């Protein structure tokens, strides 16, 4: 999907873009930044991991054992029914997503460190992403320094209080203000 996304930009004549991704979409945006850094200006990643250990223990195993009907009535299923051209194909989508989760590979720390674009990492404090993993990733992106002495890093970390993986989408008021400020800020100087 990352390669397809970069190819689409080329088809549209867009040389460089800001990327926002949530959950799986954040994983795609992260991989675009690693594989095709020349097309990424800034990156906003909500609820993303770069390795499976970033997810709470046992969660992925539990998701792998779910059946499509376990999702009936969930926000994802309801939205799929609302917008899908073939609502009866939910089980097919579910099977493809489950297979994709099984095949997702960890990214090496060096790949995260290689990202030159400024990154805004966002998680909920009760997200599927473990907070310590988000902090680890933030450090790989140059964060976790004492900004008053070292200067602010190119990347930022936001942990939304009282927020889960699902309810992160309900925090539009917070997200819009944070993301807009991040994207509108001048590009940091190279090397910072």
User: What pLDDT, in 10s, does the model give residues 96-133?
Assistant: 888 887 778 899 999 999 999 999 999 999 999 999 99
pLDDT for 126: 95
Does residue 161 share a domain with residue 95? no
**Residues 6+ away with beta carbon under 8 Å from 143:** 153, 155, 156, 157
Domain hosting 1: range is 1-51+106-192
87/40: higher pLDDT: 40
pLDDT for 48: 96
CA dihedral 144→148→154→159, nearest 10 degrees, is 50
What number of other Cβ atoms are within 10 A of residue 67's Cβ? 11
pLDDT at 74 over 90: no
The runs of H, that is alpha helices, within 107-146 are 109-113, 131-140
CATH classification of the domain holding 119: 3.40.50.1820
Model confidence at 190, pLDDT cuts 50, 70, 90, reads low
């Amino acid at each position: 999907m990352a390669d397809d996304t970069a190819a689409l930009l080329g088809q549209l004549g867009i040389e460089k873009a800001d990327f926002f991704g949530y959950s799986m979409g954040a994983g795609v945006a992260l991989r675009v930044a690693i594989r095709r850094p020349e097309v990424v200006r800034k990156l906003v990643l909500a609820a993303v991991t770069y390795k499976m250990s970033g997810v709470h223990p046992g969660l992925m195993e539990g998701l792998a054992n779910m059946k499509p009907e376990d999702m009936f009535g969930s926000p994802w299923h309801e939205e799929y029914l609302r917008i899908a051209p073939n609502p009866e194909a939910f089980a097919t989508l579910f099977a493809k997503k489950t297979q994709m989760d099984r095949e997702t590979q960890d990214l090496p720390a060096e790949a995260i460190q290689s990202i030159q674009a400024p990154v805004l990492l966002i998680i909920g404090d009760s997200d599927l992403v473990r907070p310590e993993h988000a902090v680890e990733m933030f450090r790989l992106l140059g964060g976790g320094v004492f900004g008053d002495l070292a200067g602010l890093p190119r990347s930022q970390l936001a942990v939304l209080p009282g927020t889960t993986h699902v309810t992160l989408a309900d925090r539009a008021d917070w997200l819009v203000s944070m993301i807009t400020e991040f994207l509108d800020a001048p590009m940091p100087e190279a090397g910072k």
